[in-house]
Amino acid sequence: MYAVKELFYTLQGEGAQTGRAAVFLRFSGCNLWSGQEKDRAEAACSFCDTDFVGTNGPGGGKYASAPALAAAARRTWPQAVWPEAPQPEAESPNASSSGGRPLIVCTGGEPLLQLDGALITALHGQGFEIAIETNGTISASAGIDWICVSPKSGAPLRQTRGDELKLVYPQSGVMPETYVELDFTHFFLQPKDGPDVALNTGEAAAYCLTHPRWRLSVQTHKLIGLP
């Protein structure tokens, strides 16, 4: 059984794949915050800006099997823009940089609480390239095509390699230099959302200017009104 908050088609708004069409599969539940406001102050991810509680979002629900959820994800991608045949670059483990096949972004909450080998196989069987956005506290299952890790202050980091590391900035007790030796291809600072987002954006930009290993990631979907 898979508990899904929402399942929808949009453009990726953050990180290295900004602007790319994708199905977003948002799982319900997280291991760093209950999602309830009464628990926010004590949560490791108290600045979370996402509703991942329950299964009542668009496309959400409880799916009894991996094939059922994968089929629902396939139906979410518009038929008119589904490629007629797999592109040659899809054979590459880094095919996501070329946009060669439909992308599904598994997020949450924390997707690795539910994303398992059976669902990875089923999503690949439907033709998807699979990306995850994880807090890194759980090691990723084999077969995921694109791994984005967003570490959180005070939480253990077990997934120490992947395609991109996206650090929400600033976070108390966490500095970007802690992560630069890890095995990631891209390093992003993403300004922490909220009432101080303008100040946080300026600070993140200033850090990137003085530490060119890092790139600035802004939430472009919010700027243009996409989910």
Choosing from 14, 30, 163, 164, the catalytic residue is: 30
Measured distance CA(42)–CA(59) in Å, rounded: 30
What does each C-alpha distance from 128 to 81, 212, 221 come to in angstroms? 13, 33, 22
Nearest to 127 by CA among 108, 105, 104: 104
- CB of 153 closer than 8 Å to CB of 180: no
The single-letter code of the amino acid at 206 is A
Choosing from 45, 106, 148, 208, the catalytic residue is: 45
Q: Tally Cβ neighbours within 10 Å of residue 158.
A: 14
Q: In the annotation, is 8 catalytic?
A: no
Task: Cite the DSSP H helix spans in 100-154.
Answer: 117-125
Q: What is the dihedral of CA 87, 90, 96, 98, to 10 degrees?
A: -40
Q: In the annotation, is 201 catalytic?
A: no
Give the three-state DSSP class for 44: coil
Q: In the annotation, is 148 catalytic?
A: no
Give the strand order in the sheet containing 146-149.
61-63, 2-11, 21-27, 103-107, 129-134, 146-149, 161-169, 183-191, 215-216
Choosing from 8, 18, 47, 50, the catalytic residue is: 50
| Helix, strand, coil share of the chain (percent; to 5) | 30, 25, 45
Q: In the annotation, is 30 catalytic?
A: yes
Q: In the annotation, is 133 catalytic?
A: yes
Choosing from 24, 27, 52, 188, the catalytic residue is: 24
Choosing from 6, 110, 133, 163, the catalytic residue is: 133
Choosing from 10, 39, 49, 211, the catalytic residue is: 49
Choosing from 6, 27, 48, 137, the catalytic residue is: 48
**Residues with catalytic roles:** 24, 30, 45, 48-50, 133, 221
